[in-house]
Amino acid sequence: MTQKNCRVIVLAIAGFRIHGVPASDAAVARELAKNRLFAEHGPRTLAAYLGQLRVGNSRWWRSRPEQLRAVAELTGLELADLGFSSGGPSQAYAFPTFPALRPLDLLAEPLPDIYNDVELQEGWEFKTDFWLDPDSRHPLDRPAPGLYWLQIPPGHGLDLLWRRSVARGHAQCREIATLGRALPHQLGGKPIILRVAQPVPARWEGQDGDEPPTSPVLVLSRHPPPLTAEPDSWLSAFLLRQSRGLPRSIFCKGMRRDLAADWQDRLVEWAVARLQATDSLLSDSDIRRWVDSLLPYRSVVSTPDELIALGGVLHQTGHAHRAATQGAPLFHACASNPAVARRLAGVLKHRYLHGAAPWDEPLPPEDWAQHLQPGIADTASIASLVHSV
């Protein structure tokens, strides 16, 4: 969904109307709930957010322009009546899989500190501050010209990092399908960041006629960079090419963004801080229950995107209120029996990623059978697994 940022004017609304007839927040919410744009939210939640909007608290709506326009269309109000006017590119990042999380201010707030960047070959380490964090870079710490590659595996926050780079405007950001001849050159002193969609061959060194970039260029991609058979040291490789009369290599260095060992704890702590915002609909006890509800499932998820999505599912379906009584026996059974935990985790992960039925509805053993993984042979095995816990 394309989002547009809005300039916000604090403005209170006396009340909503539908077809000219006064309507309560709950009545407007019931009508909005019929719209696919609000499929992630129930009428009660929407009524609460409408109440906030009506009294001038518009934080939740800032990154949801399509939903805001739906409210204006239903109630006959203009965006200006709701306290909004059109602005520039989006500076807020909403979490579509976890709408209760306060949107991230891409200009003012840091990203979750859950990653470590590791070099893919000896001597390939480099600092990304020049492109991604200009406020902390040293003016003399400028990388040599060439392509620098940062691999960000699927689910590790590439979209969020890209949106932040575009919103901050400190770099020239371009999305391209693949690397070709037309490598960009620095304009106006801004660093260059490319988001490359397609992988490149392992030994790719450019095409005939390709010229190395005349400025340092950072590539962001889900795919790994090309490898090089040259000496590990960048300086040694440069001198070797020079001695052979060859142009300098297009590529300089490459790293991969890996998860920190305690990334789940860090991400949950970060999410809790956002849930505890002043405009949150959750009490402290609600948040504690939500954190507890995650414990039995955290061995199932393997990426930050999955953990955020799981948190959104558990929050939306009310598991945050039920996990203390319903999840404890299952959690203790898994903790005491690693074999059961591994088998159940595999089934749950497949159910979560591929299941079509609502997450909060129970399934009989014969329906769980469609989520069988290697090592679980039949429906009877599912039944015995369920009975064992």
| DSSP string across 181-229 | S------TT--EEEEE-S---TT----TT----SSEEEEEESSPPPP--
Domain assignment present for 166:
yes
Question: Does residue 247 share a domain with residue 277?
Answer: no
Distance (Å, rounded) from C-alpha 239 to C-alpha 345? 52
Q: Are 132 and 192 in contact (CB under 8 A)?
A: no
Question: Does residue 211 share a domain with residue 246?
Answer: yes
Question: Does residue 369 share a domain with residue 332?
Answer: yes
Question: Does residue 321 share a domain with residue 216?
Answer: no
Weakest-pLDDT range from 44-53, 306-315, 328-337, 350-359? 328-337
**Confidence grade of residue 158 (pLDDT, cut at 50, 70, 90):** very high
Residue 303 DSSP SS3: coil
Domain assignment of residue 241, given as a range = 115-259
Question: Does residue 326 share a domain with residue 380?
Answer: yes
Question: Does residue 222 share a domain with residue 311?
Answer: no
Show Cβ contacts of residue 216 under 8 Å, excluding neighbours closer than 6 positions. Answer: 130, 131, 142, 143, 144, 145, 146, 148, 191, 192, 252
Q: Where a domain ends, among 235, 259, 283? A: 259
Q: Where a domain ends, among 259, 276, 307? A: 259
Domain assignment present for 311:
yes
Look at strands 115-119 and 104-105 and give their pairing. unpaired
> What stretches of 222-349 adopt beta strand conformation (E)?
251-259
Cβ burial, residue 379 (10 Å; 0-12/13-18/19+): middle
Q: Does residue 178 have a pLDDT over 90?
A: no
Look at strands 146-151 and 216-221 and give their pairing. parallel
Distance (Å, rounded) from C-alpha 189 to C-alpha 172? 10
Q: Does residue 89 have a pLDDT over 60?
A: no
Domain assignment present for 109:
no
Half-sphere exposure at residue 100, Cβ-oriented, CA atoms within 13 angstroms: 28
**Confidence grade of residue 9 (pLDDT, cut at 50, 70, 90):** very low
**Confidence grade of residue 7 (pLDDT, cut at 50, 70, 90):** very low
Question: Does residue 240 share a domain with residue 273?
Answer: no
Q: Does residue 243 have a pLDDT over 80?
A: no
Question: Does residue 274 share a domain with residue 303?
Answer: yes
Domain assignment present for 96:
no
| Tokens standing for residue 18 | 């539908």
Question: Does residue 192 share a domain with residue 119?
Answer: yes
Domain assignment present for 97:
no
Distance (Å, rounded) from C-alpha 333 to C-alpha 340? 8
Domain assignment present for 110:
no
Of the ranges 59-73, 87-101, 255-269, which is most confident? 255-269
Listing from the earlier edge strand, what are the strands of the sheet with 192-196? 115-119, 251-259, 146-151, 216-221, 192-196, 172-176
pLDDT at 291: 80
Mean pLDDT along residues 164-187: 77
Mean pLDDT along residues 49-67: 78
Q: Where a domain ends, among 238, 259, 280? A: 259
Count of helix runs (H) and strand runs (E) in the chain: 14, 12
Q: Are 68 and 42 in contact (CB under 8 A)?
A: no
pLDDT at 142: 75
Cβ burial, residue 288 (10 Å; 0-12/13-18/19+): middle
Weakest-pLDDT range from 89-98, 156-165, 267-276? 89-98
Find the farthest-apart pair of alpha carbons in the chain and give their distance in angstroms, rounded. 83
Question: Does residue 176 share a domain with residue 128?
Answer: yes
How many separate domains does the chain show? 3
State pLDDT tens for residues 29-43: 999 999 888 887 888
Distance (Å, rounded) from C-alpha 258 to C-alpha 97? 22
3-state secondary structure 221-247: ECCCCCCCCCCCCHHHHHHHHHHCCCC
Show Cβ contacts of residue 215 under 8 Å, excluding neighbours closer than 6 positions. Answer: 145, 185, 186, 191, 192
CB atoms within 10 A of CB 279: 12
Domain assignment present for 275:
yes
Domain assignment present for 175:
yes
Question: Does residue 303 share a domain with residue 348?
Answer: yes
Mean pLDDT along residues 122-131: 81
Question: Does residue 343 share a domain with residue 233?
Answer: no
